Amino acid sequence: MKKFISLLLIACLGAFIFISLYFPGGGTLAFPYYGDVDLNGRVSQAYIDKSVNGPNDVVVYGESTDEESGSANMVTSIVVDYRSFDTLGEVTVLLVSTLGVGILLGGKRKRLEYKHAPNFILKHGARLTFGLLVVFGVYMFAHGHLTPGGGFPGGSIIAAAILLLYLADDEFRVKLAGIKIAEGTAGSLYVIIGLAGLATGGYFLYNFLPNGTVGKLFSAGIIPIVYALIGLKVGSEISGAIDGFATEEVAE
Amino acid sequence: MIQYFSIVLLLIGIYGLLTQKHTIRLVAALNIFEIGLNVFIISVGYVRGGIAPILTSQANTSALLYVDPLPQALVLTSIVIGVGITALALALARRMYKTYGTYNLDEMEGK
């Protein structure tokens, strides 16, 4: 009975969404049809042309210098430059939720015991892969302004490497004190960079470093620095949460 | 097409949230709901014939036709917050299991 009522409710909701999305019925559509978006005149076009603060010529990869935000990846230029304050809030949300995980799964803890002890090959193969994964994660956030990726995926890849060690070795544990120091340092440095922008440029998280040539590794001002900090912070936060899930409380 | 698919995912997620009793399944339903929503938001920014909004040595000027980068940036935020919610929800589920000895919401009794 309950399932039937839920199904009915879902059907009504689905019909409502479909009708309001695809059948205007005299009014205007809430969203344009799929693929029919026109970016001209929208702020998105200004983000693509890097002309938010004023009109700008065409940006050319590898040639244009000192463009606004200076990042070849436009999504990154939005996330860590135009809307960097938003990202600071996002990082804070992640901090608060991992804090909640730490409180719920806190106390004196030990590793969960496995029914089958992992063998030599598994342990050492996982350690070999761990190094490769960490290097890939660092590559991911160091090139966040040039290629797809950035601090959040890079940090998640590093946390995945830690998870691999947790799964393959039943005695491995990260040093939680070190994780907390890395997390706190990275988070405070982000805010300090923002305050440095406030002191030099007049507003919080101002991109005060030279922007360089679009497409070069050393370009885009503070974006690579901030993304590296975000990567470290996200990686250490998720690693701390993983530690909470892979351990159990010790009865005192 | 992908927009229909995202709406179907969204509805599956809501159905799961309404019917399931197992806390881990509820978290899974929440994640399906969230993925449907994320795919929908990205699909809203799709421009027919547009390419990924990254300047490369091939697509080397900003005068080309790009898809809307703004929904993608917002979805990045949404994904991270989703990860936070999932971690917190799983920790709560684990804590409830420790206290009540079950993952089923109906079998939990006050102590």
Instruction: Inspect the interface and report whether the beta carbons of A7 and B15 lie closer than 8 Å.
Output: yes
What pLDDT was estimated at residue A30? 67
| Chain A contact set for B62 (CB, 8 A) | 48-50, 58-60
The residue type of B62 is S
Give B89→chain A minimum CA distance, Å: 9
Mean pLDDT across A3-23: 88
Apex CA A149: angle with CA A131 and CA A217, to 5°?
85
Instruction: Inspect the interface and report whether the beta carbons of B45 and A44 lie closer than 8 Å.
Output: yes
If DSSP codes are grouped into helix, strand and coil, which group holds residue A129?
Answer: helix
Rounded distance between C-alpha atoms, residue B39 and residue B37, angstroms:
6
If DSSP codes are grouped into helix, strand and coil, which group holds residue A33?
Answer: coil
Instruction: Inspect the interface and report whether the beta carbons of B53 and A39 lie closer than 8 Å.
Output: no
The residue type of B108 is M
What pLDDT was estimated at residue B49? 85
Q: Do residues A112 and A247 make contact, with C-beta atoms less than 8 angstroms apart?
A: yes
Asked whether this complex has an ipTM greater than 0.85, the answer is no
Give A58→chain B minimum CA distance, Å: 6
What is the per-residue pLDDT across A81-126, written as a single tens digit (0 to 9) for each?
888 888 888 889 998 998 899 888 877 888 888 888 888 898 899 9
**Is the pLDDT at B110 greater than 80, yes or no?**
no
**Nearest one of A239, A234, A233, A232 to A102, comparing CA atoms:** A239
Nearest to B69 among A32, A75, A86 (CB): A75
What is the per-residue pLDDT across A165-186, written as a single tens digit (0 to 9) for each?
988 888 888 888 888 898 889 9
Rounded distance between C-alpha atoms, residue B94 and residue A140, angstroms:
32
Instruction: Inspect the interface and report whether the beta carbons of B62 and A7 lie closer than 8 Å.
Output: no
Question: What is the count of residue pairs from A and B with beta carbons less than 8 Å apart?
Answer: 151
Give A26→chain B minimum CA distance, Å: 21
